[in-house]
Amino acid sequence: MLFALPVLLVFVVFSWGPILKGLVMSFQQTNLIDPVKWVGLENFRYVLTDPGVGQAALNTVWFTLLALLFGFPVPVLLAMFLSELRGRSWLYPTLAYLPVITPPVVAILLWRFFYDPSPSGMFNSILGSVGLGPFLWLDSPHSAMPSIVLEATWAGAGNAVIIYLAALTSVRADLYEAAELDGAGVVRRVWHVMLPHLRGVLLLMLLLQVIGTMQLFTEPLLFTGGGPQGSTMTILLLIYNYAFVNGDYGAATALSVLLALVLAVVSAVFQLATRGWSTE
């Protein structure tokens, strides 16, 4: 117990304490200088009637869905493909991992340059040479979120690939040999050997991805500031704006508490629904 005390203290001071304090602040109005004023559920009433919150919630769910649809399968497929490659086994995972090394802010500013909506923009020039576009990318409310998903997938895939590859190395080689001897092609090897082994990791990564994507922040902040027409305003960006642009900490913590509640419910439902799936 004595040995655990330092760790426990760190958790109390830097994790649980602030979480509790955040909960308390969601019932207060404060500028952090004057004495606090208790306002009951006023902050919750305010954020729930703010038309921006509804749109931000929809945008956040939209991003989560898009990221699941496109962002989730890409690293799985990439990892399976890489594990099939023989020779230079260090090279391809390294290449896949490279985008992760780029600092997010640098990557986003680079992509903002790529996404220049004029016909002379980089992506538009490339696509223009095969007769496509020009596209508005971030500057249209319809394509802004998919554009962000594209960048986020590029930036995040490397990490997931490494994890899936590690899981795949634990698959015994004789299983593949047995499958090959039984005449199984690539598709059947993936379906009957690889996927069952990845199941546990896949479920965990799915949950982490849902929690992570529902907290999308850096990309909309730097790419679009929540625009165009509020189409990339997410819950976390709104919390940030409440707190650090408007100085309204009550509203910021109230919305944080609501987001945490939603995530807790999603996680619990996910756990219940998938109980038993993760073991063979």
Partner 1 sequence: MNRFAIRCAAGLSVPFLLVACSSAPSSPADSSSGGQVTITVGDRPTSSDPANRAQYDQKVADFEKANPDIKLNPVETLWDPTTFQAQAAGGQLPDVLNVPFTEPQGMIARKQVADLTKVLKDDGLLSELNPNVLKIAQDQSGNVYAVPTAAYSVGLVYNRNLFTKAGLDPNKPPATWDEVRADAKAIAQKTGQAGYAQMTTNNTGGWMFTTQTYAFGGSIENADGSQAAFDDAPSKAALQALHEMKWVDKSMGQAVLYDIDGISKAFSAGKIGMYMSAPDAYRTLVNVNGLKASSFGIGPMPQQGGDHGTLSGGSVQIVSPSATDAEKAAAVKWIKFSYLNKYVDQSAAVTSAKNGVAGKLPVGVPGLPVIAADQWSTYQNWIKPYVNVPLDNFAPYTKVAADQKIIPEPPVKAQEVYAALDPVVQTVLGNQKADIPALLTKAAGTVNAKLGR
Binding mask 27-66 for partner 1 (x = CB under 8 A): ---xxxxx-----------x--xxxx--------------
Interface segment toward partner 1; rule CB under 8 A; list 77-85, 170-178, 186-194, 222-230: 222-230
For 254, left (φ over 0), alpha (ψ -120 to 50), or beta? Answer: alpha
Query: Is the bond leading into 228 cis (omega within 30 degrees of zero)?
Result: yes
Which amino acid is present at 61? V
Tell me if 93 contacts partner 1 by CB under 8 A. Answer: no
Phi, psi at residue 132, to the nearest 5°? -105, 150
Interface map 238-277 toward partner 1 (x if CB under 8 A): -xxx-xxxxxxx--xx--x--xx-----------------
∠ Cα 54 268 200 (to 5°): 115
- Residues in 128-147 at the binding interface with partner 1, rule: CB under 8 A: 134, 136, 138-141
Within 10 Å of residue 219's Cβ, how many Cβ atoms?
23
Which residue's CB is nearer to partner 1, number 189 or number 231? 231
Stretch that binds partner 1, among 3-11, 79-87, 169-177, 213-221 (CB under 8 A): 213-221
Report the C-alpha gap between 68 and 270 in whole angstroms. Answer: 15
Among the residues of 182-217, which ranges form H helices? 186-189, 195-213
21 contributes a contact to partner 1 by CB under 8 A: yes
User: Cβ(153)–Cβ(216) under 8 Å?
Assistant: no
Task: Summarize as ranges the residues that interact with partner 1 (CB under 8 A).
Answer: 14-15, 17-19, 21-23, 25, 30-34, 46, 49-52, 100, 104, 116-119, 134, 136, 138-141, 155-156, 159-160, 163, 205, 208-209, 211-213, 215-218, 224-230, 236, 239-241, 243-249, 252-253, 256, 259-260
